[in-house]
Amino acid sequence: MTEQRTSTDSDQSEAIIAALQDARERQAPVYISAGGTKRNLVGRQCNAAELDVSAHRGIVDYQPQELVITARAGTPLTEIAAILAGHQQRLPFEPPLFGGRATLGGTLACNLSGPARPWSGSIRDMVLGVQMINGKCERLTFGGKVMKNVAGYDVSRLQAGALGTLGVLTEISLKVLPQPQKALSLCFAMTADEAVQTMNQRAAEPKPLSGAFWVDGQLYLRLSGAANAVDSTARQWGGESVEDDNALWEALREMALPFFAGDAPLWRFSVQSSARVATDFGETLIDWGGAQRWLRGEHSREQLDRFANDAGGHASLFRGGDRNSEVRPPLGKVERRLQQQLKHSFDPDGILNPGRLYSWL
Amino acid sequence: MKTARQNLTNPTSEALKRRLRACLPADCIIEDTESQRPYECDALTIYRDLPLAVVLPETVAQVQQVLQICDALNVPVVARGAGTGLCAGAMPHPEGVLLVLTKLDRILEIDPLARTARVQPGVSNLSISEAAARHGLYYAPDPSSQIACSIGGNVSENSGGVHCLKYGLTVHNILAMTVLTVQGEALTIGSLGLDSPGYDLMALFTGSEGLLGIVTEVTVRLLPAPEIARVVMAGFDSIDAAGDAVGAVIAAGIIPAGLEMMDRLAVQAAEDFAHAGYPRDAAAILLCEMDGTREEVAQHVEEVTALFKQLGATSLTVSQDEAHRALLWKGRKSAFPAVGRIAPDYYCMDGTIPRGQVTYVLNEIYRLSEHYGLPVANVFHAGDGNLHPLILFDASDPQQVRKAESFGGDILDLSVRVGGCLTGEHGVGVEKLRKMPSQFSGQELAQFEDIKYAFDPALNLNPGKGIPILKRCQEYRALPARHQHD
């Protein structure tokens, strides 16, 4: 640890264990919260009593030369980003910060990553270890602080996207990376179909591509890395250079672009990057080099599922709409049984975020 | 560690063989002891056994039938790929079936635009990159055994290689899989997108050592082959200086494609074997590979060379062309067989440590080497902290075998003590099973056990490997006592 601890740092894990023991005894499930930024995002409405873990925060260890940081789950991402920036390092998965309130634990539980995800990996890819409290109120540590670790099942990565239904995350170790020497962005006017083709072709070139999204007839490509590699690629690829491109990628990451405004339901498609563009569902925004696509408005779940399935992925209701019904596609019989048994192995009494991922989990 | 066959007239065994013969062609079942010998162990040859039957199905449907038969008769199933594993994870169970997947060896599809390959589990790691090469693409994880090792085995062990710091492990480079449950039910996990709707079963299955299901198809991600790669080799006159140089590269903001360290004994053995031009007098060498665009590689080679000079490198070589680069790597990639020539046997360890601890850990290993009277050569994936000490011994001398095992166990304890782990990429298998409590508490091991039950309630998939079973040992199908080396 090379930095000073801040006055807000606090280890609340004993209090969290006590709260879970109480919940278990009373058979009164909890809804785990910290920054509160994703309550109405990603998962279903969870009607259990709130367990606020935001006080459990602070950076526990940071070794810049090891490229590893460990922090309590309630630590705001902005605090982590600031300490990393002091050593010219960064969180490679470029997570949304949601006004500075997003926490490390919530980001891992929701598996949220930004525009760099296809090239630098997701938070799921960067997690090296977790400390968590399962539904049996046991404090468990899996993985560690090293890059390679295959002892036992990879329970750390399993927490990514589990929406807190397997345990309360208390401490997380992540791989971090150096900041790129230079970044710039290029813009090209084209249709969505042309953009999907171009994004995939560019991604197959050995160039420092680090972002590719399309909205409103414009394809934006971001290059980042060694300055000379970025400059020479920009010269080869042409396009118009984008002024103040940081603000543009930040707006995309924070879902602050006009496309995301308003209350209309927001649907997320996670599909094969080269999948054809859906034309019958209205306006779309295409990110992650084609692998993540967004849609607005009321749609028939079956139709969206059919399209997503053909495109090799799945559709989910990311924000808005009816959050008491399922927000993710139905799973097959065998997978559903295995997912239920897996949940049961961590949380036999079902006290952790019941129904947040699926109504039956 | 070899034993006579048991249960030859066991009624279950007879029923099993009868039913296997009914669903598989005759040349896909091996029942006689002599023909089974090649399958008695993986590349960790000190652990051996023979199964009731070896089966080599040719289709996924046959794999499914084998699983259904074993499930119905409550018989253990051990999956095996190319047998290059290093933890006895594919050692047969004496009362079970060894399910060899090498005949499922087709590359089913390469999608150059989406940059994916859909392959069967028996396809070799290297052949994926070879098939993708005409599209300018390759599959990044490259274990040293990549010519032979199969992708199914890579998934089961979450294999790494020398390029993990920059390109990740198997788990970072695969998108989707078809797996069969222990009951033979087919299940597709992951997706062609970058995530999936429920729990991340890709994360759970990768590295699960064949304990949760049988992989019958894998979709891997392909990356664009870099424009150029160059390697800088530097010799140092102390382990400390080489260790500092590793930290300095990372601190300079450079993520090398590969960053390897070898100590004196490993360097000398590799040089005698490969004639790569390694400095035989160095206490340690570093091999630092940079890849990317021509401009950035040129810049990084210059920066790294300057850093190494500044930190007291006693020799410096930069690869001049592809042939030279391949030669510099040949020494490293053949380090295991090279060390194999200077002793009757070697025992390869696999702990991972924080990079900053390398000097301390290597000096401790040298101390242990003197204590046990067994030489040790060290090969280190320095970029990602994964240490491979090779303990030299003679397997025909039972005392040396015991010493080598104790020495190895001490190294694993040491790795855990400095904040690392028991195994970086080789897996637990039989070999490290009894060491698991040094890294995990009883509650953590019990959680692993509960996960195992969620997928395999009768504990028939690769029993006696990977995770110790504590709670229900009465009914547990553990390996016979002869495999426990206390």
Alpha helices in B4-54 (DSSP H): 11-23, 33-36
Do the beta carbons of residue B435 and residue B351 sit within 8 Å? no
Which are the contacts of A81, defined by CB distance < 8 A and separation ≥ 6? A90, A91, A97
- The low-confidence residues of chain B, meaning pLDDT below 70, are 1-9, 471-486
First-to-last C-alpha distance (Å) of chain B: 13
CB contact under 8 A, B113 and A331: no
- Cα pseudo-dihedral B359, B361, B364, B370, rounded to 10: -90
Last residue of a domain, one of A178, A204, A234: A178
- Which residue from B160, B212, B467 is facing A148, i.e. has the nearest CB? B160
Greatest Cα pair distance, chain A, in angstroms, is: 65
Domain of A140, CATH number, reads 3.30.465.10
How far is it between the farthest Cα atoms of chain B?
A: 72
On the 0-12 / 13-18 / 19+ scale of CB atoms within 10 A, B398 is exposed
**Do residue B292 and residue A229 have CB atoms under 8 angstroms apart?**
yes
Q: CA of A157: which chain B residue's CA is closest?
A: B203
Please write the tens of the pLDDT for every residue from B425-435: 999 999 999 99
The answer to whether residue A341 sits within a structural domain is no
User: Do A121 and A247 have their domain in common?
Assistant: no
Look at chain A and count its residues.
Answer: 361
In a domain, A37, yes or no: yes
Asked if B352 is an interface residue toward chain A (Cβ–Cβ < 8 A), one would say: yes
Contact between B233 and B287 under an 8 Å Cβ cutoff? The reply is yes
| Confidence (pLDDT) at B485 | 42
Kindly state whether residue A271 falls inside one of the protein's structural domains.
no
**Cα–Cα–Cα angle for B424, B426, B432, rounded to 5 degrees:** 90
A contacts of B355 (beta carbons < 8 Å): 65-66
Q: Which two tokens stand for residue B449?
A: 């056990």
A174 and A215 inside one domain: no
**Reduced to 3 DSSP states, what percent helix, strand and coil does chain A have, rounded to the nearest 5?**
30, 25, 45
Adjacency order of strands within the sheet including A68-72: A59-63, A68-72, A168-175, A127-133, A139-143
Domain count, chain A: 2
For residue A53, the one-letter residue type is: V
Q: How many CB pairs under 8 A join A and B?
A: 274
Cβ within 8 Å, pair A232-B384: no
Q: Are strands B214-221 and A49-52 parallel, antiparallel or unpaired?
A: unpaired
Q: Are residues A21 and A151 in the same domain?
A: yes
Q: Write down the pLDDT at residue B185.
A: 98
The last residue of a domain, from among A206, A237, A253: A253
User: Which CATH number is A241's domain given?
Assistant: 3.30.70
Residues A49 and A157 in one domain: yes
- Does A186 share its domain with A173? no
pLDDT tens per residue, chain A (361 residues)?
445 567 789 999 999 999 999 999 999 999 999 999 999 999 999 999 999 999 999 999 999 999 999 999 999 999 999 999 999 999 999 999 999 999 999 999 999 999 999 999 999 999 999 999 999 999 999 999 999 999 999 999 999 999 999 999 999 999 999 999 999 999 999 999 999 999 999 999 999 999 999 999 999 999 999 999 999 999 999 999 999 999 999 999 999 999 999 999 999 999 999 999 988 889 999 999 999 999 999 999 999 999 999 999 999 999 999 999 999 999 999 999 999 999 999 999 999 999 999 999 9
Domain, as residue range, for A212:
182-253
Does some domain include residue A85?
yes
Residue A128 counted as domain residue: yes
Q: Cβ atoms within 10 A of the Cβ of B63, count? A: 25
Sign of CA dihedral A105, A180, B255, B169: positive
B179 contact A CB<8A: no
d(CA A123, CA A141) in angstroms, rounded, equals 18
Interchain contact B424–A (C-beta under 8 A): yes
- Minimal CA separation from B32 to chain A, in Å: 34
**A273 within domain boundaries:** no
List Cα–Cα distances, B100 to B26, B217, B428, B464, B466, in angstroms.
Answer: 15, 14, 20, 18, 19
A138 with B253: Cβ contact below 8 A: no
Cβ contact A283:A262 at 8 Å: no
Q: Could you tell me the end-to-end alpha-carbon distance of chain A, in angstroms, rounded to an integer?
A: 39
Query: Which residues in chain A touch residue B227, judged by CB atoms under 8 angstroms apart?
Result: 206
Buried b (16+ CB within 10 A) or exposed e, A233-251: bbeebeeeebeebeebbbe
Contact B196 A134 (CB under 8 A): no
Verify that A201 and A147 share a domain, yes or no: no
How far is Cα A249 from Cα A255, in angstroms, rounded to an integer?
A: 10
Residue B168 exposure: Cα atoms within 13 Å on the Cβ side: 22
**Per the domain annotation, does A48 fall within a domain?**
yes
Task: Select from A236, A253, A270 the last residue of a domain.
Answer: A253
